[in-house]
Amino acid sequence: MKNDRPSQTTSTMAELPAPLTLEGFSVLHQMFRLRRAEWRGKLETQRRQMVDEAAKALDEMGSREDGQSAVFAGLGHKGDLFLLHFRRGFDELGEAQLAIGKLALSDFLEPTTSYLSVIEIGLYEATVALHARLAEQGIRPGSPQWQKAVEEELAGQRQKIAPRLYPGIPERRYLCFYPMDKKREGDDNWYRLPMEERRRLMHDHGIVGRRFAGQVTQIISGSVGFDDWEWGVDLFADDPLVFKKLVYEMRFDEASASYGRFGPFYVGIRIAPSELHRILAI
């Protein structure tokens, strides 16, 4: 006799949909260490010429209207120079990377790491509401009606929050960047939680962040399938102590305490391209 009941696997997966997301600018972080011994071997006039060329290129890249670049002096051993690029797509990021590689200065910059991602806004609240509404209407997941409703929801949300998807790089003095994952360890498996539970946890997580509104600007980028972690977090502030307070307070948040895994932290000071001479002085 044929069993028409859905399998446990099918039922479970239906309760665990991925949240809808909106994507904006593609993002590339580049971290470099200055090869000081080789740099010192060049004449002062040669060094100045190379830095002038780099400063001009970076100034032009930072003045773009459709995706900027910014320069940061790295603190600590993880790099002397950090470059952050926002672009419309990966092709444009490739052009930015190529432009940096063509600079004579790049012969003296050793890459320490990089990070590739796309600005992402997760729509947990909207996803839960949409799924509930469609279920009440008897519209099945994956059907043409379902897909049309999803596309209409995404279009409406994209129009509302376009500035958050395609922002300028915040004009703040300090940058803190770190990658992170959601745990998939035994019972602490974020991806096995029901959608409604994940929505609640992310809502509570967001409340913590909103306490620091005005003090810090946060940009989240998704990197699943692009890099070694699942998300990249960029924090921009005029007081670096805000990074410590925000990250520490969020450690007590349930979403982070139970399900967060954090990668290395990178902190830099925003500089104008014209300040490269000072940063690269020997």
In a domain, 105, yes or no: yes
Catalytic residue numbers read 178
**Residues β-bridged to residue 114:** 30
In a domain, 223, yes or no: no
64-86, pLDDT tens digit by residue?
999 999 999 999 999 999 999 99
In a domain, 40, yes or no: yes
pLDDT score at 45 = 96
> Band of the pLDDT at 127, cuts 50, 70, 90?
confident
Exposed / middle / buried, residue 270 (Cβ in 10 Å: 0-12, 13-18, 19+) = buried
CB of 259 within 8 A of CB of 58?
A: no
Domain limits for position 92: 24-119
CB of 150 within 8 A of CB of 130?
A: yes
Q: What is the CA radius of gyration of the chain?
A: 22
> Cα(229)–Cα(120) distance, rounded to whole angstroms?
14
- 162-171, 196-205, 227-236: which has the minimum mean pLDDT? 196-205
pLDDT score at 25 = 98
CB of 80 within 8 A of CB of 73?
A: yes
The percent of residues in the chain predicted with pLDDT above 70, rounded, is 94
In a domain, 68, yes or no: yes
In a domain, 35, yes or no: yes
Residue 8 has pLDDT above 60, yes or no: no
CB of 40 within 8 A of CB of 258?
A: no
In a domain, 241, yes or no: no
CB of 230 within 8 A of CB of 181?
A: yes
214-262, pLDDT tens digit by residue?
999 999 999 999 999 999 999 999 999 999 999 999 999 999 999 999 9
| Structural domains of the chain, count | 1
3-state class of 229 per DSSP? coil
**What are the residues whose beta carbons fall under 8 Å from the beta carbon of 45, sequence distance 6 or more?**
none
Exposed / middle / buried, residue 28 (Cβ in 10 Å: 0-12, 13-18, 19+) = buried
In a domain, 47, yes or no: yes
pLDDT score at 281 = 86
pLDDT score at 14 = 45
Structure tokens at 183: 């745990």
In a domain, 174, yes or no: no
32-45, pLDDT tens digit by residue?
999 999 999 999 99
pLDDT score at 131 = 84
CATH number, domain at 78? 3.30.70.1030
Residue 7 has pLDDT above 50, yes or no: no
